[in-house]
Amino acid sequence: MTPEDIRALRTELGITQQQFASLLDVSFVSVNRWENGHAEPMGGNRATLSLLSDALALTAPSIVRSRLHEADGDGAAILRVLVALGPRTLP
Q: Write out pLDDT tens, residues 35-89.
A: 999 999 988 888 888 888 888 888 888 888 888 888 877 778 887 888 888 776 5
Decide: 49 and 1 in contact? Cβ < 8 Å.
yes
pTM: 0.78
- Taking the C-alpha atoms of residue 86 and residue 36, their distance in angstroms, rounded to an integer, is 27
- Cβ proximity of 27 and 76 under 8 Å: no
Residue 9 neighbours by CB under 8 Å, 6+ apart = 49, 52, 53, 56
Q: Give just the sign of the alpha carbon dihedral 22, 26, 27, 30.
A: negative
